[in-house]
Structure 1
Amino acid sequence: MDIDMLRAFQAAAAAGTVSKAALQLGYAQSNITTKIRQLENDLGTPLFYRHNRGITLTPAGKTLKGYADQVLRLMEEARRAVTDGTAPKGSLAIGSMETTAAVRLPELLASYHRSYPEVNLTLVTGPTEQLVQAVLDYELDGAFVAGPVEHPDLLQDSFIEEELMIVTDAAHPPLASAKELGSRTLLAFRAGCSYRARMEQWLHEEGVMPVKILEFGTLETILGCVAAGLGISLLPRSIVQRKAEEGSIRCHPIAHKHSRVWTVLIRRRDAYVSQAYKAFTEQIHAGVVR
């Protein structure tokens, strides 16, 4: 068993076909097939079921997959640790909720890029649940999510506290109670969004069930549909205040129990902390974000 065999096995397991794995690794298809056969011979057990649609892992293959992922991740981490000098460089993958990326991060990202042009910074947006899993799976170096996040494998730093507001079309009268929202459609990001979960929890506690929940992929679409009277949403004041001042939407405060939420920056406890990541957090603590 060697590293090249494990890489071929990992790629094939992820791709589901030998041809796709070969394309991904830049090898001939016969090369991938040979390495997998050698690995199966070394271990004395088949690792894949072969069928017309491609390949799927056997029970032994599923067991090996976990170890292969860990070994190859540690190899990459070792490479990063050895080559990581005093100046930030290389890749840095950061995740963020759509709302935080829209308002809180542009100034930080611009400042970071100016200060450390040799860092290849990638920003991935998504709901909190998805971002947490991506950090746990070592796909992201860190992520801005709604806190608190309770997980033994994660560390978190407080980033900024947000005030949440109910957002309606501009013609909607002031809200006297949550029960007035029972006939309205809830506009939200897809499942896994912390603001959506908080909204549903608040309405449930008030004995209110939304007539319908419509899911959207972008903040701009949600705000546009709210302004058009399609439904209501729950969003941070920092996101909606300007549009409320312009008169296109109306903001309504909610009970304090549900109105405050911290955005936190999470990372894996056991992951290597690169100079690029350290510099990123230093800019946060230096007050680049307001």
Structure 2
Amino acid sequence: MEFREINTFLLIAQQQSFSKAAKALGYSQAAVTIQIKQLEKELGVTLFDRIGKKISLTEQGSIFYRHALEIMRSVDQAREALTEKDELSGQLCLGTIESICASIFPELLAEYHRLYPQVAISIVTESPEELLERMNENKIDLVYLLDRRIYDQRWHKILEIPERNIFVASSAHELARADRELDLDEVLDFPFLLTEKNASYRYILEQYLAATDRTICPFLEIGNTEFIIQMLLKNMGISFLPEFTIRKELENHTLTELKVKEFHMQTWRQIFYHRDKWVTRQMQAFFELAEEWK
């Protein structure tokens, strides 16, 4: 039994596909099939049920999966122990949403790079659903997102911070100059610039409005938070954004929060990794830094 065969088995089980695992490993599908057949021969069991195009673990496969994870964790721990005195290097793949990538990541990752210049970082920006799916497929090391509180037995959560989501406009906007709390309908009458519909805070806003028989029809939709901020600074409308994305503009009074009567909406910044994922030194260093910069 070889570590290569065990690693291939784990990836097939996680991807539920021989072809996807082969592509991820850079092998041919025939080579992957041969490795699994050899592993099954050595163990004397069938590890996968193959019904049509669907792949699933057999009962024996599920038992071996738990032990295989422990084997590979032990190997990784041994490798880490031998190299832990060396300068941190290797790779780190982060999944996040655009608003966090634009507002939090620049300073956070600049500091990470200063501390660990030999680590190569890659970033994937997608919807929370897509990011979590990629994490389940072991294509992303960890996910940093903004959403409702999410709980799932498959994932470990290492950070959870509440964030306000607010209506905001240029300080020159007529509503910003109104020295009072505003009615929601009064705000909705103005042109809106919004993030794309897969942004969690926009979805939550639309659900809230739908529950009160209201709708919002933006004149501009874009997945780039920085572009929305620049349009707001030009007094081109109103937006609905997480407060942390515009903290600098609020502090220097170029943008103003529009306070709406009896309206409070909160989401949470959260960091997840898969429970079956061995936490690398690169991941652990990111977790510690994210906690400091929360």
TM-score w.r.t. structure 1 length? 0.67
Aligned AA (1:143): V
Change (3 A) 1:233 1:178: same
Note the alpha carbon deviations across 1:19-59, whole angstroms, 9 max, x for none: x998876667876787799999996x99586xxxxxx45xx
Percent identical among aligned pairs is 25
Residue 90 (structure 1) aligns with: 90
Q: Structure 1 residues 213-222 or 200-209, which shifts more?
A: 213-222
Instruction: Could you tell me which runs of 5 or more consecutive residues in structure 2 were left unpaired when the two chains were aligned.
Output: 177-181
1:26 to 1:266, Cα distance in 2 relative to 1, 3 A: closer
* Cα distance change of structure 1 residues 80 and 74 upon mapping to structure 2, 3 Å threshold: same
Structure 1 stretch 140-149 or stretch 166-175: which is displaced more?
166-175
2:267 is paired with a residue of what secondary structure?
strand
Question: Aligned in 2, Cα 1:5/1:269: closer, same or farther, shift over 3 Å?
Answer: closer
- Which deviates more from structure 2 when the two are superposed, residues 165-174 or residues 261-270? 165-174
Question: Could you tell me how far apart the structure 1 residues matched to 2:201 and 2:8 are?
Answer: 39
TM-superposed deviation, 1:126: 2.2
Residues 54-203 of structure 1 correspond to what in structure 2 (within 5 A)?
56-57=53-54, 61-62=55-56, 77=73, 79-85=75-81, 86-87=84-85, 88-146=88-146, 147-158=148-159, 160-168=161-169, 173-174=174-175, 176-180=182-186, 181=188, 187-191=194-198, 193-203=199-209
User: Structure 1 31/283 Cα, relative in aligned 2: closer, same or farther at 3 Å?
Assistant: closer
In structure 1, give the amino acid aligned to 2:133: Q
* 1:165-200 Cα distance to aligned partner (Å, 9 max, x none): 224577754282222316856622242x22112211
Q: 1:199 to 1:112 in 2, by over 3 A?
A: same
1:199 partner letter:
L
**Displacement of 1:208:** 0.8
- The alpha-carbon deviation at position 228 of structure 1 amounts to 7.5
The alignment covers a number of residue pairs equal to: 276
Amino acid at match of 1:277: M
Q: Is residue 2:234 matched to residue 1:238?
A: no
Letter in 2 for 1:84: E
Contiguous gaps of at least 5 residues in structure 1: 50-55
Q: TM-score, normalised by structure 2?
A: 0.66
One-letter amino acid of the structure 1 residue matched with residue 246 of structure 2: V
Mapped partners of 2:220, 2:71: distance in 1: 43
Q: Specify whether residues 264 and 40 from structure 1 end up closer, same or farther in structure 2 by C-alpha distance, changes over 3 A only.
A: closer
- Show the 5 A alignment for 1:18-57: 47=50, 56-57=53-54
RMSD across aligned C-alpha pairs, in angstroms?
4.7
Would the alpha carbon gap of residues 151 and 178 (structure 1) be closer, same or farther in structure 2, given more than 3 Å must change? same
Could you tell me how far apart the structure 2 residues matched to 1:29 and 1:205 are?
50
